[in-house]
């Protein structure tokens, strides 16, 4: 070796020591199929807008008044956690929780940040001025808590980034920063983006890439640490906003470090995904939210093992879904397969999976993911809301014969189960589901439109909404006028300053037996494509014709679908009020009035008219075949969805 070579080797060795990432090979990233539009580009219309307004007048807009101690805990500012911090009393019964009270230290950060995230998004999308004023104040207050070095979180200087057990370092940041990102994307307020970049820099400095262990947390329950893996939500979005690849490299590091450490929430660890004998075992919300870090790591690294793992993981999730799309999460999956009566789903799980499928669709273009978002949102999620009061079920099953605390009235040994009921808060269990029920609709709306590099606008998830964006430097607005999924008729009203050429792609649902429109179109990978010049005020009318579908769930029980909606026999219930948080904000339980259930008949003469499915089913009490009316799951409390 000559002297120059020797010197160069020394220099590169030195460089590797100082800046290890600069000399490592850059990953070959996978091409992402679609681009996400900035938050606020897609706003609600029609019934979804009405429902969001009701939520803001109800449990979403008032949660801070219902549990002020949790929401006002100054955990990010004067009340940051320190080594002598005590376990907080959150006013819950602690029944059915995983071992370990350590989580109660950080829990208020999740409650308040998830609630604020939903509140910020609802306020902005509804243009709710008083709420927006409150949001502005919140943003000012929270940015004022940022330290000189960029730290924006819940721990004092002595504790931060120095953990060997359960903690909420990354999770408390993730929940907070998601709301800040939404606010920035809507307002373009640079101070917010700068604060976010400094805060994320502070994480990357203190947990240096490939030279730290953010997921080392010992052998006990570490739910907060595992939730922290969704910090990749922040990194992925910051990369989309800034174009800086550092964030994606760091996201890969987080996933790898999570995979290589012990975790109580291990379903998404690479070795477990690649083990053919492994079955989902962990807390559902973790399992479904961890699809997102896996997707980000897969697309950022292009690693073939991760690509294989992503496919396996998606297949495993499919086995966890009930007819309505409700993913097992009551609260542990425990190796089970979905079942209409026996596997419950948590509202948090519903939200997390909906959001994960949205990311899957954006990056991979996976058509089934877009369809799954509709199934989950229009059925499991809507069907876990109380149709008459501003409250939600913490846990719900497809077949719901009683909502009085336990799963279908079962007596659960050693547990005082109270999750199967309707509440605006669910403080007796945990204030997690109510905040997430405030997030799901704004997040769902973000999946309605994506852009493609060839100047396409893609209506991926169908819903009443209005899109405002720019194409070829020109403002374009598209109103999607519809009562979908309660009927399948759409008018797309396209407004532009002058005639404009682009591709409008509308997802053709797999259940559509016929497409009715006067327009010329082509079909491309399940999308209806209108590729033409649109005049200034163009209108496209389109209708998807459907018929009653009789499908089988994972347990081979039958259920009935029409369009995007799953149907159920509703049962009358007797309502009993529980805890009163404030006037109009009560817990409600439901007992069956006359317990009946039905059996499937091969000769069922199922037909659809005026929002209902009429069908012949066998009454299990009388043994007689009856003509039964089914209504959308979304409009039910007690119900039967699947029939043996
Ligand atoms: Zn929850």
Q: Ligand 1 centre and the CA of 422: distance in Å?
A: 13
What would the mean pLDDT of 308-323 be, rounded to a whole number? 98
Q: Ligand 1 centre and the CA of 113: distance in Å?
A: 14
Q: Ligand 1 centre and the CA of 602: distance in Å?
A: 39
> Picking from 87-101, 369-383, 415-429, 450-464, which range would have the lowest pLDDT averaged per residue?
87-101
Q: Ligand 1 centre and the CA of 433: distance in Å?
A: 4
Instruction: Let me know whether 511 and 481 are in one domain.
Output: yes
What would the mean pLDDT of 487-502 be, rounded to a whole number? 97
What would the mean pLDDT of 83-88 be, rounded to a whole number? 88
What is the token pair recorded at 388?
Answer: 């008459």
| More confident position, 540 or 417 | 540
Q: Would you say 549 and 511 are in contact if contact means Cβ atoms under 8 Å apart?
A: yes
What would the mean pLDDT of 405-410 be, rounded to a whole number? 91
Instruction: Let me know whether 631 and 557 are in one domain.
Output: yes
Q: Residue 505 falls within a domain, yes or no?
A: yes
Q: Give how many domains the chain has, as a whole number.
A: 2
Q: Please say which residue of 541, 568, 586 terminates a domain.
A: 541
Q: Ligand 1 centre and the CA of 111: distance in Å?
A: 10
Asked if residue 269 has pLDDT above 90, the reply is yes
Q: Would you say 167 and 217 are in contact if contact means Cβ atoms under 8 Å apart?
A: yes
Q: Residue 562 falls within a domain, yes or no?
A: yes
Give the H or E element holding residue 508. Answer: none
- Give me the sign of the Cα torsion angle 192, 193, 196, 201: negative
| More confident position, 94 or 447 | 447
Q: Residue 420 falls within a domain, yes or no?
A: no
Q: Ligand 1 centre and the CA of 82: distance in Å?
A: 26
Q: Residue 574 falls within a domain, yes or no?
A: yes
Cα separation values, 638 from 180, 204, 386, Å: 38, 49, 10
Q: Ligand 1 centre and the CA of 326: distance in Å?
A: 13
Give residue 1's pLDDT band: very low, low, confident or very high (50, 70, 90): very low
Instruction: Let me know whether 631 and 576 are in one domain.
Output: yes
Instruction: Let me know whether 522 and 564 are in one domain.
Output: no
Instruction: Let me know whether 463 and 527 are in one domain.
Output: yes
Q: What is the mean pLDDT of the chain?
A: 94
pLDDT of residue 15: 47
Cα–Cα distance for residue pair 377/565, rounded to 1 Å: 10
Q: Ligand 1 centre and the CA of 401: distance in Å?
A: 21
Instruction: Let me know whether 510 and 562 are in one domain.
Output: no
pLDDT digits (tens, 9 = 90+) for 37-79: 999 999 999 999 999 999 999 999 999 999 999 999 999 999 9
Q: Residue 499 falls within a domain, yes or no?
A: yes
> Picking from 21-25, 453-457, 512-516, 528-532, which range would have the lowest pLDDT averaged per residue?
21-25
Q: Would you say 592 and 571 are in contact if contact means Cβ atoms under 8 Å apart?
A: yes
Q: Ligand 1 centre and the CA of 121: distance in Å?
A: 19
Q: Please say which residue of 541, 567, 594 terminates a domain.
A: 541
Cα separation values, 304 from 28, 125, 419, Å: 11, 39, 41
Q: Ligand 1 centre and the CA of 240: distance in Å?
A: 29
Closest to 57 in 3D by CA, of 145, 123, 148 = 123
What would the mean pLDDT of 9-13 be, rounded to a whole number? 48
Give the Cβ contact number of residue 593 at 10 Å.
Answer: 11
Q: Please say which residue of 486, 517, 541 terminates a domain.
A: 541
Q: For the whole model, what pTM was predicted?
A: 0.94
Cα separation values, 119 from 128, 269, 389, 465, Å: 10, 33, 19, 19
What would the mean pLDDT of 206-221 be, rounded to a whole number? 96
Q: Would you say 611 and 632 are in contact if contact means Cβ atoms under 8 Å apart?
A: yes
Instruction: Let me know whether 576 and 635 are in one domain.
Output: yes
Q: Ligand 1 centre and the CA of 595: distance in Å?
A: 29
pLDDT of residue 594: 85
Q: Residue 529 falls within a domain, yes or no?
A: yes
Percentage above 90 pLDDT, the chain: 90
pLDDT of residue 12: 46
pLDDT of residue 7: 52
What would the mean pLDDT of 194-200 be, rounded to a whole number? 98
Asked if residue 557 has pLDDT above 50, the reply is yes
Alpha-carbon dihedral 307, 311, 316, 318, rounded to 10 degrees: 140
Q: Ligand 1 centre and the CA of 385: distance in Å?
A: 14
If you write DSSP's letter for every residue of 312-342 in order, what string do you get? HHHHHHHTTB-TT-PBP-SSB-TT----TTT
Cα–Cα distance for residue pair 71/59, rounded to 1 Å: 14
3-state secondary structure of 64: helix
Give the Cβ contact number of residue 595 at 10 Å.
Answer: 13
pLDDT of residue 92: 84
Instruction: Let me know whether 524 and 561 are in one domain.
Output: no
Q: Ligand 1 centre and the CA of 421: distance in Å?
A: 13
Q: Ligand 1 centre and the CA of 475: distance in Å?
A: 40
Cα–Cα distance for residue pair 84/451, rounded to 1 Å: 50
Q: Residue 596 falls within a domain, yes or no?
A: yes
pLDDT of residue 604: 97
What would the mean pLDDT of 217-240 be, rounded to a whole number? 96
Give residue 412's pLDDT band: very low, low, confident or very high (50, 70, 90): low
Q: Ligand 1 centre and the CA of 419: distance in Å?
A: 9
Q: Ligand 1 centre and the CA of 144: distance in Å?
A: 29
Q: Ligand 1 centre and the CA of 330: distance in Å?
A: 10
Across the beta sheet with 474-481, the strand order is 42-44, 465-471, 474-481, 489-496, 537-545, 514-516
Please name the residues in contact with 260: beta carbons below 8 A apart, sequence gap of 6 or more: 215
Q: Residue 563 falls within a domain, yes or no?
A: yes
Provide the domain limits for residue 482.
Answer: 459-541
Q: Ligand 1 centre and the CA of 39: distance in Å?
A: 24
Per DSSP bridges, beta strands 465-471 and 522-524 are unpaired
Instruction: Let me know whether 553 and 631 are in one domain.
Output: yes
Q: Ligand 1 centre and the CA of 482: distance in Å?
A: 31
Instruction: Let me know whether 464 and 536 are in one domain.
Output: yes
Q: Ligand 1 centre and the CA of 387: distance in Å?
A: 19
Cα–Cα distance for residue pair 517/446, rounded to 1 Å: 26
Asked if residue 16 has pLDDT above 60, the reply is no
Instruction: Let me know whether 594 and 635 are in one domain.
Output: yes
Separation of CA 521 from chain center: 33
Q: Ligand 1 centre and the CA of 395: distance in Å?
A: 8
Separation of CA 338 from chain center: 19
Give residue 414's pLDDT band: very low, low, confident or very high (50, 70, 90): low
Asked if residue 293 has pLDDT above 60, the reply is yes
pLDDT digits (tens, 9 = 90+) for 319-337: 999 999 999 999 999 999 9
Half-sphere exposure of 46 (CA within 13 A, CB side): 17
Q: Ligand 1 centre and the CA of 356: distance in Å?
A: 16
pLDDT of residue 411: 76
What would the mean pLDDT of 301-322 be, rounded to a whole number? 98
Asked if residue 4 has pLDDT above 70, the reply is no
Looking up tokens 């960029």 gives: 150
What would the mean pLDDT of 458-474 be, rounded to a whole number? 97
Q: Ligand 1 centre and the CA of 393: distance in Å?
A: 10
Cα–Cα distance for residue pair 644/211, rounded to 1 Å: 55
What would the mean pLDDT of 209-216 be, rounded to a whole number? 98
What is the token pair recorded at 492?
Answer: 């797309």
Give residue 13's pLDDT band: very low, low, confident or very high (50, 70, 90): very low
Instruction: Let me know whether 557 and 602 are in one domain.
Output: yes
What would the mean pLDDT of 506-535 be, rounded to a whole number? 97
Give residue 26's pLDDT band: very low, low, confident or very high (50, 70, 90): confident
Q: Ligand 1 centre and the CA of 560: distance in Å?
A: 28
Determine phi and psi for 403, rounding to 5 degrees: -130, 65
Cα–Cα distance for residue pair 307/295, rounded to 1 Å: 9
Q: Ligand 1 centre and the CA of 437: distance in Å?
A: 9
Percentage above 70 pLDDT, the chain: 95
């Amino acid at each position: 070796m000559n002297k120059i070579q020797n010197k160069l080797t020394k220099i590169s060795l030195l460089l590797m020591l100082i800046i290890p990432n600069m000399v490592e090979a850059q990953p070959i990233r996978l091409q992402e199929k679609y681009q996400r539009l900035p938050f606020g580009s897609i706003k609600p219309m029609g019934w979804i807008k009405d429902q969001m307004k009701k939520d803001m007048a109800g449990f979403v807009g008032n949660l801070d008044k219902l549990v002020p101690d949790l929401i006002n805990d100054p955990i990010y500012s004067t009340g940051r956690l320190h080594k002598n911090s005590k376990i907080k009393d959150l006013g819950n019964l602690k029944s059915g929780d995983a071992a370990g009270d350590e989580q109660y230290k950080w829990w208020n950060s999740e409650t308040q940040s998830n609630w604020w995230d939903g509140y910020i998004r609802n306020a902005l999308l509804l243009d709710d001025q008083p709420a927006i004023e409150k949001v502005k104040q919140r943003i000012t207050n929270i940015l004022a808590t940022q330290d000189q070095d960029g730290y924006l979180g819940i721990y004092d200087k002595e504790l931060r980034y120095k953990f060997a057990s359960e903690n909420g370092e990354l999770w408390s940041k993730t929940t907070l920063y998601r709301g800040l990102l939404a606010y920035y994307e809507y307002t373009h307020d640079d101070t917010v983006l700068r604060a976010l970049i400094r805060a994320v820099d502070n994480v990357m400095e203190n947990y240096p890439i490939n030279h730290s262990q953010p997921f080392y947390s010992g052998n006990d329950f570490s739910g907060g640490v595992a939730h922290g893996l969704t910090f990749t939500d922040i990194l992925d979005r910051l990369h989309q906003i800034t174009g800086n690849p550092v964030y994606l490299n760091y996201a890969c590091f987080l996933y790898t470090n999570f995979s290589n450490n012990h975790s109580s929430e291990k379903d998404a660890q690479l070795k477990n995904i690649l083990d053919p004998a492994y079955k989902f075992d962990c807390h559902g919300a973790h399992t479904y939210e961890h699809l997102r870090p896996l997707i980000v790591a897969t697309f950022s690294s292009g690693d073939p093992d991760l690509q294989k793992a992503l496919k396996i993981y998606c297949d495993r999730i499919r086995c966890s879904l009930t007819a309505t799309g409700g993913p097992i999460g009551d609260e542990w999956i425990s190796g089970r397969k979905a079942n209409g009566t026996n596997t419950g789903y948590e509202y948090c799980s519903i939200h997390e999976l909906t959001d994960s499928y949205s990311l899957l669709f954006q990056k991979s273009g996976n058509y089934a993911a877009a369809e799954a978002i509709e199934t989950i949102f229009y059925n499991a999620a809507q069907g876990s809301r109380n149709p008459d009061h501003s409250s939600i079920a913490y846990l719900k099953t497809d077949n719901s014969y009683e909502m009085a605390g336990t799963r279908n009235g079962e007596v659960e040994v050693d547990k005082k189960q109270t999750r199967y009921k309707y509440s605006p808060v669910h403080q007796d269990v945990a204030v997690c589901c109510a905040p997430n029920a405030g997030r799901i609709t704004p997040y769902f709306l973000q999946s309605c439109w994506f852009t493609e590099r060839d100047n396409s606008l893609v209506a991926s998830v169908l819903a009443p909404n209005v899109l405002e964006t720019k194409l070829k430097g020109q403002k374009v607005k598209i109103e999607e006028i519809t009562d979908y999924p309660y009927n399948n008729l759409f008018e797309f009203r396209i407004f532009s300053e002058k005639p404009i050429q682009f591709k409008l792609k509308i997802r053709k649902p797999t259940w559509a037996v016929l497409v009715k429109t006067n327009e010329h179109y082509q079909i491309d990978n399940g999308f209806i494509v209108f590729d033409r010049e649109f005049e200034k005020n163009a209108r496209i009318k389109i209708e998807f014709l459907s018929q009653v579908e009789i499908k089988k769930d994972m347990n081979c029980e039958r259920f009935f679908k029409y369009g995007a909606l799953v149907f159920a026999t509703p049962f009358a219930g007797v309502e009993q009020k529980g805890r009163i948080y404030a006037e109009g904000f009560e817990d409600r339980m439901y007992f069956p009035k006359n317990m009946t259930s039905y059996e499937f008949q091969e000769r069922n003469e199922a037909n659809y008219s005026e929002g209902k499915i009429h069908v012949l089913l066998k009454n299990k009490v009388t043994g007689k075949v009856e003509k039964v009316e089914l209504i959308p799951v979304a409009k039910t409390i007690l119900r039967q969805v699947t029939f043996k």
